[in-house]
Structure 1
Amino acid sequence: MIPNLDWMQHAACAGMDPRAFFTVGNHARAQVNEARKVCATCPVREQCADWAIQTGERHGVWGGMSQQQLRQRRRRFTSRARTDTRAAS
C-alpha cells in the first residue's frame, strides 16, 4: 500500500532546500531553531511529525521536533503499539 503523501504539498517547507532541516557542524543548534520557526507556521505539522515517527526517520527536524524529541515520541509510539498488539492477542 502506498501511503497518502498529499499533505507534503501543503507544508510550509515545500520548495525549500531540505538541507535547512538536516543540521551539521558548529551551528547545528541555530539551524534547528531556524527550521523550527518554519515548522511553527506549518499547517501540516502534525502529519509531518507522524510521518517521521512511523517511517523511523532519525535525522532532521520534522513537525517542529528536533532529533531528540522525535526519538522520545517514537519510543512512546512504539511502546503504545506493542501494548496494543498484546491486548489484541
Structure 2
Amino acid sequence: MSHGTGWRQRAACIGIDPRAFFPIGHHARAQVNAARRICAACPVRQQCAAFAIETGERNGIWGGMTQQQLRQRRRRFTSRAKTSTRAAS
C-alpha cells in the first residue's frame, strides 16, 4: 500500500517548525506531548502514520505516535505483509 504525499498540504503541522516533532534533550517529554496535541486535531493523521510506517521513519512523532508506537505498528505491518505474501504463494 503506497500513499502519495499530497496529504501533507492538509496537515495540522503545516508551517510549524519540524523540530517540534523530533524531541530531544531534557524537555523531550514536554515536546512529545506538545507534538501529539497538534496531531490530535490533524485531519490527515492516519495518512501521516501510514507514511511513517511504510517508509521506515525511525525518529519523530508521526500521526500522533511516538517512536515506540511506530516501531510496534511497523512490526505488525511487516508481519501482516509477510503473512499475506506467504498466503499468496
Answer whether TM exceeds 0.5 for this pair: yes
- Classify the secondary structure of the residue corresponding to 1:59: coil
1:55 aligned partner: 55
Residue ranges of structure 1 left out of the alignment (5+ in a row): none
Q: What's the offset of the Cα at 1:20? A: 0.1
- Cα distance in 2 for partners of 1:64, 1:44 equals 11
Q: Which residue of 2 aligns with 1:67?
A: 67
Q: What's the CA shift for 1:4?
A: 1.8
1-structure distance, mates of 2:3, 2:29: 32
Tell me the equivalent position of 1:41: 41
Whole-angstrom CA distance in 2 between matches of 1:14 and 1:76 = 29
- Please give the root-mean-square deviation of Cα atoms over the aligned residues, in Å: 1.2
What TM-score do you get using the length of structure 1 for normalisation? Answer: 0.96
Among all aligned residue pairs of Structure 1 and Structure 2, give the percentage whose two residues are the same amino acid.
Answer: 72
**Correspondence 1:24-39 to 2 at 5 A:** 24-39=24-39
What is the CA distance between 1:3 and its match in structure 2? 5.3
CA contact (8 A) 2:3 2:47 kept: no
TM-score (norm 2): 0.96
Q: Distance in 2 between matches of 1:3 and 1:30?
A: 30
Segments ≥4 residues shifted beyond 2 Å: none
